[in-house]
């Protein structure tokens, strides 16, 4: 797993890649971004996490 995932506070973080074309469509570039697979929100600060899973983190059931 990429380092960015291991150190993340969000357990549902997923890295997505999208291809963006430039203005004239002559060049493509791959844009990586992180999303929370649980909340389906973009994670702007992958190191921090989505900011919601951390809040919702529940204590063990025991
Ligand atoms: Zn999350």
pLDDT in tens, 21-50: 887 778 888 888 889 999 888 888 877 788
Alpha carbon distance 62, 42 (integer Å): 32
Distance 30 CA to ligand 1 centre (A): 23
Alpha carbon distance 10, 21 (integer Å): 30
12 CB-near residues (< 8 Å, 6+ apart): 36, 37, 38, 39, 50, 53
Contact 52, 8 (CB under 8 A): no
Phi and psi, residue 38, nearest 5° = -85, -50
Q: Choose the most confident range, by mean pLDDT, from 3-12, 14-23, 46-55.
A: 14-23
* Structure confidence at residue 61 (pLDDT): 61
pTM over the 0.75 mark: no
Distance 48 CA to ligand 1 centre (A): 10
């Amino acid at each position: 797993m990429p380092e960015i995932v291991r150190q993340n506070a969000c357990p549902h973080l997923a890295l997505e890649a999208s291809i963006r074309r430039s203005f004239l469509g002559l060049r493509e570039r791959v844009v990586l971004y992180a999303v929370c697979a649980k909340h389906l929100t973009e994670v702007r600060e992958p190191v921090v996490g989505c900011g919601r899973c951390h809040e919702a983190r529940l204590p063990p059931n025991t």
